[in-house]
Amino acid sequence: MVALVKAAMAPDYPAEIVLVISNRPDAGGIVKAEALGIQTVCIDHKNFKTRKDFEQEMDKALRACGTELICNAGFMRILSPWFVRRWLGQIINIHPSLLPKFKGLNTHARALEAGQKQHGCTIHYVDEGVDTGKIIAQAKVKVLPSDTADTLAARVLEQEHILYPQVLKTIATQ
pLDDT value of position 170: 98
CATH class of residue range 2-172: alpha beta
pLDDT value of position 101: 98
When pLDDT is cut at 50, 70 and 90, the band that residue 118 belongs to is very high
pTM of this structure: 0.95
| Mean pLDDT, residues 136-160 taken together | 98
Residue 116 to residues 102, 141, 155: CA-CA distances in angstroms?
A: 11, 11, 15
Q: Which of 91, 152, 149, 73 is nearest to 120 (CA)?
A: 152
Residue 95 is a catalytic residue: yes
| Mean pLDDT, residues 69-86 taken together | 95
pLDDT value of position 85: 97
**Out of 45, 95, 119, 161, which one is annotated catalytic?**
95
When pLDDT is cut at 50, 70 and 90, the band that residue 1 belongs to is very high
Report the run of H or E that residue 33 belongs to, with start and end: helix 28-35
pLDDT > 70: percent of the chain:
100
